[in-house]
Structure 1
């Protein structure tokens, strides 16, 4: 691994030469020498520095972006070589959209850790767009996103089916109606996720399938906040069966039953476009497939 790139990336992220020296167990003059050597190699100044701050030049931003990718590739290469000689171990960076990451992924990691305690997982939660970009930029080894996702930069594979429900407060008037109409839904206050979220995409598809656009729409950036808002009577929403199982069992949220619902969608696994996988990633993917029976219609709504 090129130590100049490692030092440069650390300076760019720490924004401080002394903190970089501490992180890398170097002296501060040595850090400065590495940066100066890299700048001579690149033929331009990469970092602006004074007594108060350190920041990247335009050229520095370009080098930082590619240096992170180079270091990531090196680490991945080393992990693959190590895997030839050892059992599954090492770092595994996992990204997941909110529904899968908060309500399903903990089960996967618990099983994985029970069998492979030398694997060190780290988890990033974000919306579908954010996770896909992080996998494509090689900041994450694997991502699980909501919906059928395609990106020519990535390997994508739908691997499980999720079920989406219209949810209302337990004491909502619609729970007492024999038949819920599109007109009833249209006039409700809908609470939806932000653009870029797989749940928001599924919600938009549901509006289109049922043939209406809500009169009132509120956009929240958290599934938990949406659930609590529905429980408080602020509005209704459209969420995964996995996200609302606890609230439904407690009787604080009601799954509205009407023709055309619940609506299925897919969870999709995304990985970098490479034929090689670390053993840690390989066993993680195997754990995902072991959970597939939980997504069957027989288990819909079960704890």
Structure 2
């Protein structure tokens, strides 16, 4: 691995030569020497340095962005070689969009760890767009996201189905509605929604476009939990995955509205950026494909 790039990334992230020296168990002059060598190799200064701060300049931002990708590829390359002689083990960086990451993934990882205790997963939760970008730049080994999309840099595989329903508080005037209602009849309700870029927001936008619905009021949140709490508090209604609603529906805090044409079905997708996979990644993908948790909508 290129030690100069590794040290440069640490200096950039720690914003300190001394803290980078501690991180790499070397002296501060040694860190400074590696940075000078990298700057000479690149032919440009990469850092702005004063007695008060160390920060990236414009050239440094470019090098930092690509250094992260290069270091991630070094790690993946080493893991692939190690796998030739060893069983599934080692680090596995997983990205997941909020619904899958918060409500489904923990149990899948727990199941995997029972059989493969030497795999060391780390999880990054973000919206679909963010996770896909991190996979494309090799900062994550795999992403599990909601919805279907196309990206030339990514290998996308649909592997499970998700059912989305419209929910309201148990005290909402519509909570005891017995007959199915038309989605257009909910146009005047306040909709509690995810931010643009999320798979849940994309599903809602697709559903509205399909039925020609134009809500008069939207309230945005960046994750599912505050949406559920806002709906429960009576602030409005929302379209959410059935996976995220199990506890609230069981307790009776939220009610599913009987809406014509629902549930709305979407896909959970696996996204990777290379056909070359470590054994740890192969195992995780196999667990995703075969996990009984994902074979039923009940």
Q: Which band: TM-score by shorter chain?
A: over 0.9
* Partner residue in 1 for 2:272: 271
* Partner residue in 2 for 1:46: 46
**Matching of residue 63 in structure 1 with residue 63 in structure 2:** yes
* Partner residue in 2 for 1:239: 240
> What are the Cα deviations for residues 247-284 of structure 1, in whole angstroms up to 9, with x where unaligned?
00000101111220001000010001x22100110000
Are the aligned partners of 2:181 and 2:259 in contact in 1 as well (CA < 8 Å)? yes
Question: How far apart, in 2, do the equivalents of 1:33 and 1:59 lie?
Answer: 19
Partner SS, residue 144 of structure 1: strand
Q: Tell me which moved more, 170-179 or 240-249.
A: 170-179
Are the aligned partners of 2:180 and 2:260 in contact in 1 as well (CA < 8 Å)? no
Unaligned runs of 5+ in 1: none
Partner SS, residue 166 of structure 2: strand
- CA drift of 1:233 comes to 0.7
> What's the C-alpha RMSD, in Å, of the aligned pairs?
1.2
- CA drift of 1:183 comes to 4.5
* Aligned 1:19-30 pairs, distance under 5 A: 19-30=19-30
Unaligned runs of 5+ in 2: none
> What are the Cα deviations for residues 173-199 of structure 1, in whole angstroms up to 9, with x where unaligned?
223333423443011111110000100
> What are the Cα deviations for residues 151-181 of structure 1, in whole angstroms up to 9, with x where unaligned?
1001000100000001111122223333423
Partner SS, residue 174 of structure 2: helix
Are the aligned partners of 1:210 and 1:260 in contact in 2 as well (CA < 8 Å)? no
Give the TM-score normalised by the residue count of structure 2.
0.97
Return closer, same or farther for 1:105/1:194 CA change in 2, 3 Å cut-off. same
> What are the Cα deviations for residues 38-65 of structure 1, in whole angstroms up to 9, with x where unaligned?
1111122111111110011221112112
Corresponding residue pairs, total: 297
* Partner residue in 1 for 2:185: 184
- CA drift of 1:215 comes to 1.6
Return closer, same or farther for 1:45/1:246 CA change in 2, 3 Å cut-off. same
Give the TM-score normalised by the residue count of structure 1.
0.95
- CA drift of 1:237 comes to 0.3
Are the aligned partners of 1:174 and 1:180 in contact in 2 as well (CA < 8 Å)? no
Question: How far apart, in 1, do the equivalents of 2:166 and 2:111 lie?
Answer: 31
**Matching of residue 92 in structure 1 with residue 92 in structure 2:** yes
* Partner residue in 2 for 1:252: 253
Question: How far apart, in 1, do the equivalents of 2:220 and 2:263 lie?
Answer: 22
**Matching of residue 126 in structure 1 with residue 123 in structure 2:** no
Question: How far apart, in 2, do the equivalents of 1:181 and 1:188 lie?
Answer: 13
